[in-house]
Each structure stands twice: as C-alpha cells, then as structure tokens.
Amino acid sequence: MILRQAVTDVDPAFEFAAEVREGLLRPGQKELPSKYLYDEVGSALFEVISALPEYGLTRADQRLLRENSAEIVSHLTSPVLVAELGSGSGKKTRYLLEALDCRQQTRYCPIEISHTALTMCARELGDIEHISIVGFEREYLDGLLEVADHRRPGEQLLVLFLGSTIGNFDRPADVKFLRAVRRILQPGDALLLGTDLIKPTPQMLDAYDDSLGVTAAFNLNVLARINREVGGNFVLPHFDHEARFNPETRSIEMHLRSTRRQNVSIARAGLTVTFSEGETIWTESSHKYSRPELLQLAMAAGFRCKQQWVDEEWPFAETLLTAE
Ligand code: AVI
C-alpha cells in the first residue's frame, strides 16, 4: 500500500482537551464527540461488537455485499476509482473489490484517520490481484478531495460509505455531509451508502446494551482515554453505560450515567466538572432510517437512487446512488 499522511502542526492532545472541555461545559446535556470512542482499544472493542449475537448490523452489511457485489458493480462503467470513507479493517470491501477485479485493474483508496485501521485494511486486501491500494490518513472530506484530484481521465469515482456510519452524524449534519460529498463528485459518479433501518425498539436496545458488556466497555473507554491522554481522573466504576431510544430523532443514544454526585478534574483541559447523581454524558447517537427517509436524504443531497438492496434477517439497506 502507498500511504499518504497529512502534515499537520496541530497537537492532537490539545484538540482532544479543547473538545472535552467544550462538551463537558455545555449547558444542559453534557456531551463528548463520538469520534473519541475510536482509539486503539475502542476500535478493537468495536470489532468485537461486530461479532456479538445482539449486533446484527455488520453481518447484514457483509451479507448484502457478499450476495450482491456482482450486481452492484454491473451498474458501474469501467474504469472505476474506489474511495472508501472509514474503511475499518476492510473485510466487507473485499466482496466489491473482488467483483471489480474480474473486470479490470482498479485503484482502491481507503480514507481513515486511524493509522492502525489503514494498516489492517492493507493487510486484509493486499492479496487481491488487480487492485492497487493507496491509503489516505485523513478526515473523510479532505481525503476524498485528494482522491478526486488523482482521478485519471475517463475514470468513474465510486465512493463507499458503509456500516451505517452516516447514522452517527447528527441531523441535519448527515445531509450536509452528503452534500459536501456530492460537491466533490462529478455527474455520473456513484455513492454506495450502507444504512441501518428502523426495527423493533427492544431489538435495537439489545444491540447497544449487549449481555457480555462489550458495548459498555466501548462506551466507558472514552473516559479511560481522557484519563490516559489528557490527564483526567474519572473513576470508571462511578459511571454506568446506558442505551436509550429517542423516538423523536429515531436514534439509539449512548450515555454514561454518573452513579453519584462527584467532581472530576481534567488537567490538560484546565477543568474541574461536577456531576450530580444520575446526570449523563451523551457519547453517541446512532440513527435508524426508514426507506422513504433514505430516498429523501439522497435526493436532498443531490443524488438519485439507482438500486437498493435490503437484508431480510436484519433490516439494513445498501443503496447505490448516482450524482445528478
Ligand atoms: C460505527 N457505528 C455505525 C456503530 C453504530 O452502530 O452506530 C458504532 C457503535 N456504537 C455502539 N455500538 C456500535
């Protein structure tokens, strides 16, 4: 894999401390940005979550790609330049790349902020014969802009945004993000969007509050990370993991509930914050879509729906969109 890394003079711990400060001082509901769930420990815990019996999302995404990749790539005109936003380990992308491999030499560009994920992805997909990998260690849109700059004449760009990561954006940030993606594309380029669909509330709650407690550990790890990286003194057993369904936004929310009145200091954020008993920190939202809502979202962002595949076992949609 060729790797393109960003040159930056911003100290990541400084940025982390500033965002923690802002989120914990927010009037009303305290918050932490969900991107901080994914350090090395968090990413490894997420891999375990993906294998849990209660969390069918990743398996549904994989099943759809395994069963439909040939049909998905049949909608594309050769040659294709593939850019994936948040490739993770790259396991499910294999099906699409193998389907493309039968047709032509293809360039695949995973875009990830995590160096570890890019390395895992290159190891996972490096053996596919006609695929060359160029990894971009970047934020999604910065990376996509750079990939688009490397487009060769006549190449169609296919953007992959799988695993329902779009559901972790607040609304209307999701449509704003898709519009920004659309602006980088040319008419006729494609976006394959994976989204988790609405299902019965108990099933959704179990998926985010599994019986082994892996999701609880994933959630609490953000406090451990604050302790490790920016000098916090959170006592982890003084917080409980909580998953709740918000019917207004149709999202599962993850919170960390303070089990007592307590003060927590975070040295690098220059902050001491008081928690009352029962007060929560909101750490993540995971939006669940309906099919009509998905189509509206795509249209509002400047895309047209080419085809949609839905998993029967675990309602989840793979939607192929083209830039108008
Ligand atoms: C990455 N993302 C799509 C996952 C989700 O389902 O929202 C993150 C996750 N959070 C808790 N479990 C999984």
- Site residues for ligand 1, CB cut-off 6 Å: 49, 57, 163-165, 167-168, 208, 215, 284, 286
- Is pLDDT above 90 for 209? yes
- Is pLDDT above 70 for 9? no
Predicted confidence at residue 90, as pLDDT, reads 84
- Sorting pLDDT into bands at 50, 70 and 90, what band is 250? very high
Taking the CA of residue 57 as reference, the ligand 1 atom at the shortest distance is 6
- Report CA torsion sign: 59, 62, 66, 69: positive
Tokens, residue 306: 């080419």
Predicted confidence at residue 144, as pLDDT, reads 98
Q: How far is the CA of 44 from the centre of ligand 1 (A)?
A: 13
- Report CA torsion sign: 24, 29, 35, 38: positive
Q: How far is the CA of 129 from the centre of ligand 1 (A)?
A: 32
- From 284, 285, 289, mutation site for ligand 1 pocket: most ligand atoms within 8 A of C-beta: 284
CB of 240 closer than 8 Å to CB of 256? yes
Overall average pLDDT of the 236-261 stretch: 98
Q: How far is the CA of 286 from the centre of ligand 1 (A)?
A: 7
Predicted confidence at residue 10, as pLDDT, reads 77
**Strand partners of residue 309:** 318
Q: Would you state the torsion angle of the CA atoms of residues 21, 23, 165, 7, taken in this order, to the nearest 10 degrees?
A: -30
Tokens, residue 260: 């007592």
Q: How far is the CA of 50 from the centre of ligand 1 (A)?
A: 9
Tell me which residue has its CA closest to atom 11 in ligand 1. Answer: 208
Q: Rounded to whole angstroms, how far apart are CA atoms 260 and 182? A: 47
Residue of 90 and 209 predicted with greater confidence: 209
- From 36, 49, 92, 252, mutation site for ligand 1 pocket: most ligand atoms within 8 A of C-beta: 49
Q: How far is the CA of 58 from the centre of ligand 1 (A)?
A: 9
Q: How far is the CA of 37 from the centre of ligand 1 (A)?
A: 10
Would you give the distance in Å from CA 161 to the centre of its chain?
8
- Is pLDDT above 70 for 7? no
Long-range Cβ pairs for the range 174-179 (8 Å, 24+): 174/287, 174/297, 175/297, 175/300, 175/301, 177/140, 177/141, 178/297, 178/298, 178/300, 178/301, 178/302, 178/303, 179/300, 179/301, 179/302
- Is pLDDT above 70 for 314? yes
pLDDT tens per residue, range 24-62: 999 999 999 999 999 989 989 999 999 999 999 999 999
Predicted confidence at residue 87, as pLDDT, reads 84
Q: Rounded to whole angstroms, how far apart are CA atoms 18 and 11? A: 11
pLDDT tens per residue, range 121-144: 989 999 999 999 999 999 999 999
pLDDT tens per residue, range 172-206: 999 999 999 999 999 999 999 999 999 999 999 99
Predicted confidence at residue 244, as pLDDT, reads 98
How does strand 262-266 pair with strand 271-275? antiparallel
Q: How far is the CA of 56 from the centre of ligand 1 (A)?
A: 11
Tell me which residue has its CA closest to atom 3 in ligand 1. Answer: 165
Predicted confidence at residue 221, as pLDDT, reads 98
Predicted confidence at residue 243, as pLDDT, reads 98
Q: How far is the CA of 324 from the centre of ligand 1 (A)?
A: 30
Tokens, residue 217: 């550990």
- From 168, 197, 245, mutation site for ligand 1 pocket: most ligand atoms within 8 A of C-beta: 168
Closest to 168 (Cα-Cα) out of 304, 46, 291 = 46
pLDDT tens per residue, range 216-228: 999 999 999 999 9
- Is pLDDT above 80 for 293? yes
Q: What is the mean pLDDT of the chain?
A: 95
Tell me which residue has its CA closest to atom 6 in ligand 1. Answer: 286
Predicted confidence at residue 101, as pLDDT, reads 83
Whole-model pTM: value is 0.95
